[in-house]
Structure 1
Amino acid sequence: MATLSYAARDSRTMLRRNLKKALRYPSLTVTVVAMPVVMLLLFNYVFGSALGTGISGLPTGSGEYIDYLAPGIILMAATSGALTAAISVCADKTEGIVNRFRTMPISRASFLTGHVVGTVIQTMLSITLVIGIALLMGFRPTATPVEWIAAIGLLALLTLALTWLSAGIGLVAKNVETASNIPMPMTLLPFVGSAIVPTESMPTGLRWFAEYQPFTPIIETLRGLWLGTEIGSSAVIALAWCVALALVGYVWARRTFKAGAQR
């Protein structure tokens, strides 16, 4: 019990450190929010008329492309936000802070826990801002309070999973530039899914990839929760992907951090 208490205390200290650091250097957080907002504006106002015309049965029946687009771009806010963990972890490693922490009488788990929890908090705030902007642009969910809670919970679980993966990337990257580039496919992968257009409109090979990659069932689940479209088996598949990614990321990051301490 005492060990768990010390670990929780040290993790809270690391969390405060990372949140204060984010407040002092907000440029990364602003960039993370700006990317999905720019994509939302670009695809809705520039390409929306052309893309929306080709999509039959838009979610709410309003005929507005923003209703189809918003869930995928909101998910993009989660993928973009999680990447900041790779950058912040790698920065601490290359600046020598990690080695200093290892010489101090603190819980070994607290360093990664502080980074991961701090990134999840920042990312969820970013997601809230993107949802607010989507609503201002005309996004009109029909979800009940329970469905809203389920959608936010799914986004939080996805953010946690991707943040653990990003923390592992930050530990193995040699510099901050590499740490920022390696996870970039995670940000772009939703576009090769159902975020912008239905997978049915894609060529056969690309359609197969789009339907079986992790983000498509998550997007379809969010779309179903918010807008009442058919979810089917997407919810189970989405949860399975999130849990699997979280476990892989957690185990990999913890083992990588432990291996670094033994060198």
Structure 2
Amino acid sequence: MSDPAAAPRLGGTAQAAVMAGRSLRISSRNTDALITSLALPIMLMLIFVYFFGGAIETGVAYDSYVMYVVPGVLLLCAGFGAATTATAVSEDMKGGIIDRFRSLDVGATPVLAGHVAASTVRNLCATVLVFGVALLIGFRPAASLSGWLLAATVLIAYIVALSWISAAIGLLARSPEAASGFTFFMSFLPYPSSAFVRIESMPSWLHGFAENQPVTPAIDSLRLLLLGQPAGNTPWIALAWAGGMLAVAMVASGALFRHRTR
């Protein structure tokens, strides 16, 4: 009989893949949260387009309000989808499964990376669904191949960064309910930005925050790239924001995990 101690151990990448598969299976069973994260961005897009779109002035660069609002909804969808990561991580910490993982020599990085990878897959599926509905209600992108690739890069970078931030929140919160509450602030960020209205139409005291918060350059990049308009250095500013948030979130997640499991 072979000695279990002598059995080869999975590497970090393989462990993360196993953890991602576990998180996806858990997500598939949590149908309420899955449906909410998919349906809410679509409902908000339909509400803004059909209820408020006729009263919102977006300038002469856009034929209709749906052409303006869809990029913002894509980022909003990323925020809603990433928020479930905080709850999932908090449930793992509260349920004691982390102690069992540690006994199997599974460290912080594979566990958290698995949650983030699963969040990215869920978010990409939700993005495809939201984008499909947008096409049905009149969104007509005019991006070049390079524009599509750069827009996808910006979107995926923000999904990953927001997912790692959510993982850190899940480690910081002491309960899944608290984790869900903390992520509200992250999901709120697209509203005081250029997602739904032009920043110039907001009160003057809000301009500074709306123009210089991390979500605004991402939304502007997606809008300009998808509509085939010159984007300048806006995508690179957006990617710099995403890279900075990702670095901070990964360092914070590692420190919080060590603190919670010592």
Q: Flag whether TM exceeds 0.5 (same fold).
A: yes
State the distance in 1 between where 2:150 and 2:180 align: 30
Q: Is 1:122 aligned to 2:122, yes or no?
A: yes
Q: Is 1:22 aligned to 2:27, yes or no?
A: yes
Contact kept? 2:108, 2:254, Cα under 8 Å: no
Structure 2 match to 1:161: 161
The aligned amino acid for 1:21 is I
TM-score (norm 1): 0.92
Structure 2 match to 1:56: 59
**SS of equivalent to 1:195:** coil
- Within the candidate set 10, 14, 18, 1:13 is matched to 18
Structure 2 match to 1:31: 36
State the distance in 1 between where 2:177 and 2:246 align: 24
The aligned amino acid for 1:200 is E
Contact kept? 1:32, 1:81, Cα under 8 Å: yes
**SS of equivalent to 1:34:** helix
Q: How many residue pairs end up in the alignment?
A: 255
The aligned amino acid for 1:14 is M
The aligned amino acid for 1:202 is M
**SS of equivalent to 1:194:** coil
Report the alpha carbon displacement of residue 187 of structure 1 after superposing the two structures with TM.
1.1
State the distance in 1 between where 2:87 and 2:32 align: 13
Structure 1 match to 2:78: 78
Deviations 1:70-96 (A, max 9, x none): 110111111111111101000111111
Structure 2 match to 1:105: 105
Structure 2 match to 1:94: 94
Report the alpha carbon displacement of residue 5 of structure 1 after superposing the two structures with TM.
5.7
Structure 1 match to 2:4: none
Report the alpha carbon displacement of residue 27 of structure 1 after superposing the two structures with TM.
2.1
State the distance in 1 between where 2:233 and 2:165 align: 25
Report the alpha carbon displacement of residue 233 of structure 1 after superposing the two structures with TM.
3.1
Contact kept? 2:144, 2:228, Cα under 8 Å: no
Contact kept? 1:58, 1:65, Cα under 8 Å: no
State the distance in 1 between where 2:136 and 2:103 align: 50
State the distance in 2 between where 1:153 and 1:91 align: 30
Q: Is 1:218 aligned to 2:218, yes or no?
A: yes
State the distance in 1 between where 2:98 and 2:227 align: 45
State the distance in 2 between where 1:85 and 1:40 align: 23
| Structure 1 residues 102 and 5, CA gap change in structure 2 (3 angstroms) | closer
Q: Which contiguous aligned blocks of 4+ residues in structure 1 show a shift greater than 6 angstroms? A: none
**Any gaps of 5 or more consecutive residues in structure 2?**
1-7
Structure 1 match to 2:234: 234
Identity %: 36
Contact kept? 2:28, 2:34, Cα under 8 Å: no
State the distance in 2 between where 1:231 and 1:175 align: 42
TM-score (norm 2): 0.93
Q: Is 1:183 aligned to 2:183, yes or no?
A: yes
